[in-house]
Each structure stands twice: as structure tokens, then as C-alpha cells.
Homo-oligomer: A and B are copies of this chain.
Amino acid sequence: MRQAGRYLPEYRAIRAQAKGFLDLCYDPAMAAEVTLQPVRRYGLDAAILFSDILVVPHAMGLAVTFEEERGPVVQRVRSTQDVERLEPAAAAGRLEPVLGTVTRVRAALAPDVTLIGFAGAPWTVATYMVEGGTSRDFAATRRWAFGDPEGFGRLIAAIETATIEYLVAQVTAGADVVQLFDSWAGVLADDAFERWCVAPTARIVAAVKARTDVPVIGFPRGAGVLIERYAAATGVDAVGLDTTVPLAWARDVLQPKVAVQGNLDPLLLVTGGAAMEQRARAILDALGHGPFVFNLGHGVVPETPPDHVARLVACVREWRP
């Protein structure tokens, strides 16, 4: 999950200097600074690149803006003609500023602190491109995928091409691990999940692994029971668990196959105190005996008191198997 953000005063100070959110993502000095802030403040074991999954559609030639109230607005892609106008081969080159951030952060981090790069998974990125932003039900995307799977498949293929080059370039620039965020994986039935989440992810993982030697983490948010299939069939080394994945199931079903990462409810970081600490320990007790990365199950919310994050980090460090 993004570690930097509006809950940190030092982030807000940098954010105020950037014109728009994308300007912040494309300024290597500022983006590196906000990437490093939470690592400095909390002494975290890993840094996650400060960027956004929508830099890929932007680098493929679409207009992308971030509006304070409305969220991201993306130039819509609704037809195969729209897909043909995309420039997936040019995307990684245009993302040079983000790669510059990766290089700066890697150089600034202690050698034992891991740098996690990332991209959006094709299904999730496609939903933003088809809907023109976020959505409650992704109806336009599902209608296209169901009614014209061949045309929609071309969109997915274009995103795949751009994503593979971008992730490989992140590794070349210094990322130690890469993560694929499939934030909207949880709206598809099993057959559609197989076609639009599992298969594209498997192709990306295979291509990245053929050209680099870094682990890949997949995060099929909200995929429920289908996470088992995702863990078995995509080739990812680790699976991010959203808040709702039951701990005993993750331990018994997923952890024998892959490392797992997660999954504290970020609202418990707002609550803090005993409720937060008890749940953090329950997560560690369940998953800490196998391959595991402690994390949240979703992003930090702006209302989070920074001291609660410090207390959580201490709580995780105090835990012993």
C-alpha cells in the first residue's frame, strides 16, 4: 500500500509545492522525497514507490487528471479504434521521470531496505480507461468485456505490453520487488476473472521473470475465494490480502503456495489503541509463522493519526513467533 499520503504533514508540505497530483508523480526529486518520508519517520523495512497506476494510461497517450473531489478523470477508451490510437510501446520511455524516482530512492535507501515498484494490473487499469475514472459497478467495462471480448482483449493486450516494459524498467532502475495492483479484481465471476485477471497477470509475471530476477507480488483485491486460483495460476511469489480475507484461510490455503501480505483494516489505524494492537497481533499470530509481509489491507486514510502508525510499527516489531 502507498505509505506516503495526506495523513503526514511532511507529505502535505511537498504536495503543496506540486501543481497537480501527476506533477508530483513526474517530479523525481519530489516523488523520491515523499517515497522516503514514511521510511524515515517509521524506520520501515520497505519503501513503496510513490506513483499512481494511472501513469500507464497517461503514458499510452490518454489525458489523465486528478480532481480533489471527483477523483481521477481519464480520457475514455470505448472502441477498438480508441485502442488502436493507444501507444503502448512508447509508454515506458515516457515514464522516464518515474524511473528517475526509482533510481533516486534506491540510492537513498539503506541497502537492507527493500524498494517495491508497482503497476496496475490490466483489468483494473482498463476499468479506469473505459469508465473514464472510478466507478461503482464498472458496468461499461463489463458490458464491453462480455459483449465484445475480442475488442476488449486488445485493450487488455495494450496495457499488458506497456506494463511489462514499465515493470522491467523499474527493476533496471533499482526496484527490488514489483507489485501488480488489481484493485477491482473483485467484480468478476469465475470465468471472467480467469480471462481478464488471471491470464493477463500470468503473462506479465512470465515476461517480467524472463527478463529480471525480482519477486512479483499480486494484489487481487476483493477476489475472495478466487484468490486461491490466482495464487496457483499467475506465477506470483506473493499475494496481497485485502482486509476481508480470513486469516485462517490465508494461512491454510494460500501460505503453503505463496507468501502473503496484509491485511490490517486501515480504519483500525484511525481507531488505534487496544483494538488496533489486538488485531495486529491476531494477524501476526495467524500468518507470522509462514512467509509473510505485515501490511494494511487497503490504503492509509487521511484521518490517520501519524502516532498510531508509529505504535503499529512498534507492535509488529515487538511480536515474536
Interface residues of A (CB under 8 A from B): 136-137, 139, 142-143, 146-147, 186-193, 222-227, 229, 243-249, 263, 265, 267-268, 270-271, 275, 279, 282, 297, 301, 303
Q: Can you list 28 A-B pairs with a CB-CB distance of less than 8 A? A: A136-B136, A139-B267, A139-B301, A139-B303, A143-B267, A143-B270, A146-B268, A147-B270, A186-B186, A186-B224, A186-B244, A189-B244, A189-B265, A189-B279, A190-B247, A191-B279, A193-B244, A222-B222, A222-B224, A222-B244, A223-B224, A224-B224, A224-B245, A225-B227, A225-B249, A226-B244, A226-B246, A229-B246
Q: Report how far A188 CA is from B264 CA in the complex, Å.
A: 11
Q: Report how far A297 CA is from B191 CA in the complex, Å.
A: 14
Q: Report how far A142 CA is from B264 CA in the complex, Å.
A: 13
What copy number does this chain have within its complex?
2
Task: State whether B246 touches A146 (Cβ < 8 A).
Answer: no
Task: State whether B146 touches A265 (Cβ < 8 A).
Answer: yes
Q: Report how far A305 CA is from B224 CA in the complex, Å.
A: 31
Task: State whether B245 touches A192 (Cβ < 8 A).
Answer: no
The residue on B at minimum CB distance from A262 is B189
Q: Report how far A295 CA is from B263 CA in the complex, Å.
A: 32
Across-interface contacts of A249 in B (CB, < 8 A): 225
Q: Report how far A249 CA is from B189 CA in the complex, Å.
A: 12
Across-interface contacts of A227 in B (CB, < 8 A): 225
Task: State whether A244 touches B282 (Cβ < 8 A).
Answer: no
Q: Report how far A88 CA is from B181 CA in the complex, Å.
A: 43
| Across the A-B interface, the 8 shortest Cβ-Cβ residue pairs | A224-B224, A190-B246, A142-B267, A146-B271, A147-B271, A225-B249, A189-B243, A225-B246
Task: State whether A275 touches B186 (Cβ < 8 A).
Answer: no
Task: State whether B189 touches A297 (Cβ < 8 A).
Answer: yes
Task: State whether A275 touches B147 (Cβ < 8 A).
Answer: yes
Q: Report how far A136 CA is from B142 CA in the complex, Å.
A: 19
Across-interface contacts of A147 in B (CB, < 8 A): 270-271, 275
Across-interface contacts of A244 in B (CB, < 8 A): 186-190, 193, 222-224, 226
Interface centre among A223, A265, A282 (most CB of B within 10 A): A265
Given contacts A147-B271, A189-B297, 9 further A-B contacts (CB under 8 A): A139-B267, A143-B270, A186-B222, A189-B263, A189-B265, A224-B224, A225-B245, A225-B246, A226-B244
